[in-house]
Structure 1
Amino acid sequence: MNSITRLTGRSVISLLVLFLMMATALPIFAADADFKTISSEALKDMLDEKKSFTLVDARTADEYQAAHLVTALNITEKDFDKSLALLPKEKGALVVLYCNGVKCGKSKKVAAKAKAAGYTNLVVYADGFPVWEEKGYPIVAGADYAKKIETTKFTPAQLSVILKEKKDAYVLVDVRDEFEFAEGHIEGALNIPAETFASKSGVLPKEKGIIVYCNSGGRSYSAYRKLMKLAYPSIYQAILSEWKEAGLPVVKSQL
């Protein structure tokens, strides 16, 4: 009986040791899957100084044709094997990859493919095209780049119902300046000014509908376009002046 007890005890200890070893190994595996990142400013400096590196746009061919960073090649995960010859022959050469911002996984997926192919100096520009464009840095624009888009709009009545009955399924964003937001905004709205919208969009969940609004539509249209480039699936626009004209309330906040 004592032998059985000792054996059972040893088995439990062995299992615990194995579990701890596995738990310790997991973070190492996760860290190995990540890549170094580079800021917008550092990448621009590299381009301005004509540093030797390969820049890869991991977005779709349509997105690349619409607009992309100067000197960038288009290599998607799907077509990686066919596009492998575009990468430098020297496997230690610097390769920088980007896609549509911090919530876009395309650049990391292509980087993982490149790593599996033997490339060892891979860096991800996590902010991606929308932030680069927002900062006014150089891009190569296609023929349809400035083409006007049709937004999906909510009337004041529709928005009022959504905020009362379905608010958990949406995020309402006021894209005006901070002082305008403080003077009066729709209750429950976040404030992300249009001029820095892409760089601060990481707080917006992709699994919810995103509703952007401003006073008359210009800035919310800009934010809407940025959300499209960030690949948000459900985007809507509302107009604050129409909300006020309908006699619906706004709230104030302190700066």
Structure 2
Amino acid sequence: MMKLIKNILSVATVCALMFSMVGCLGSDKFAQEVEKEKGAVKLVREIQRGDYDIITTEELKGLQDKKEDMVIIDTMPYEASYKKEHVPGAKQFLFPIPDMIEWDVKETDGKTKEQFIEMLGPDKDKLIVIYCGFVKCTRSHNGAAWAKKLGYTNVKRYPGGIFAWKGAKYPVASVK
């Protein structure tokens, strides 16, 4: 009888430990969800402020495969990022990470608003896709918001950026 009670207590102890571990693991998942929510809300609020749309990795790749007429802008630094790897067909135009309320040539690597307009082209309804490195990077927000401020109507931010592009195992381009 004593042996049976010992066995039951051992099993109960193991079960209690397992349930407590599951509880710990579960609470970590809850914390991760809170972080995901913060990121999602931040992205939505940027989109609302900038009045542009978004595009997914698969949607962008699909448009490229269909040879859609569009302008793709990489807003990352030329030497540190764009030169090494970028979405094929993308042009580079640096934007800062903090909100760029007014045009500041120091923040755009010495480039002017007129140079940005020239890069985007004269067709204000043409599809423009603007990206940076990854979802948390706000360079693409600044680029998309400025395209909208300048009167372009079909502006999409690609929030996944080059990290999502590479994560989908799509080919990248570089400058030799």
Please classify the TM superposition score into its range, dividing by the shorter chain length.
0.5 to 0.7
Structure 2 CA distance for partners of 1:126 and 1:29, relative to 1, 3 Å:
closer
The Cα of 1:93 is off from its aligned counterpart by 1.1
Q: Check whether the contact 1:80–1:113 (CA below 8 A) recurs between aligned residues.
A: no
Please give the per-residue CA displacement for 1:58-81, whole angstroms capped at 9, x wherever unaligned.
Answer: 111111111111110111231352
| Residue in structure 2 matched with residue 48 of structure 1 by the alignment | 65
Give the aligned partner of residue 110 of structure 1.
143
Q: In structure 2, what is the Cα distance between the partners aligned to 1:30 and 1:61? A: 25
**How big is the alpha-carbon RMSD for the aligned residues of Structure 1 and Structure 2?**
2.1
Pick the aligned partner of 1:68 from 68, 79, 86. 86
Aligned to 2:166: 133
Instruction: Give 2:88's aligned amino acid.
Output: V
Query: Does the residue aligned with 1:111 lie in a helix, a strand or coil?
Result: helix
In 1, Cα distance between equivalents of 2:46 and 2:163: 30
Q: CA deviation at 1:106?
A: 0.3
Structure whose residues are more often helix by fraction? 2
User: In 1, distance between residues paired with 2:167 and 2:56?
Assistant: 14
Cα separation, partners in 2 of 1:83 and 1:33, compared to 1, 3 Å: closer
1:32: how far off? 4.4
Runs of 4+ with >2 A deviation = 28-35
The alpha-carbon deviation at position 90 of structure 1 amounts to 1.0
By relative contact order (CA 8 Å, sep 6+), the higher-ranking structure is 2
Residue 66 of structure 1 aligns to a residue whose secondary structure is: coil
| TM-superposed deviation, 1:102 | 0.7
Which structure's residues are more often strand, by fraction?
1
2:73 is paired with a residue of what secondary structure?
A: strand
Deviation per CA, 1:67-100, whole angstroms, max 9, x where unpaired? 1111101112313523321112011111011101
1:58 to 61, 64, 75: 75
Q: Residue type of the partner of 1:67?
A: E
In the alignment, the residues of structure 2 paired with residue 110 and residue 71 of structure 1 have an alpha-carbon distance, to the nearest angstrom, of: 17
Aligned AA (1:48): D
Q: Which runs of 5+ in 1 are unaligned?
A: 1-27, 144-255
- Count of residue pairs the alignment pairs up: 116
The 3 A distance-change label for structure 1 pair 31 and 134 is closer
Q: Is 1:99 matched up with 2:117?
A: no
Structure 2: which 5+ residue stretches go unaligned?
1-44, 96-107
1:80/1:110 contact within 8 Å kept = no
CA distance in 2, matches of 1:80, 1:131: 29
- Residue 46 of structure 1 aligns with an amino acid whose one-letter code is L
Change in 2 beyond 3 A, CA 1:66/1:122: same
In structure 2, the CA distance between the partners of 1:118 and 1:67, relative to structure 1 (3 Å rule), is same
Matches for 1:1-255 after TM superposition, within 5 Å: 31-62=48-79, 63-77=81-95, 78=108, 79-81=111-113, 82-142=115-175
**CA–CA distance in 2 between the matches of 1:29 and 1:129?**
19
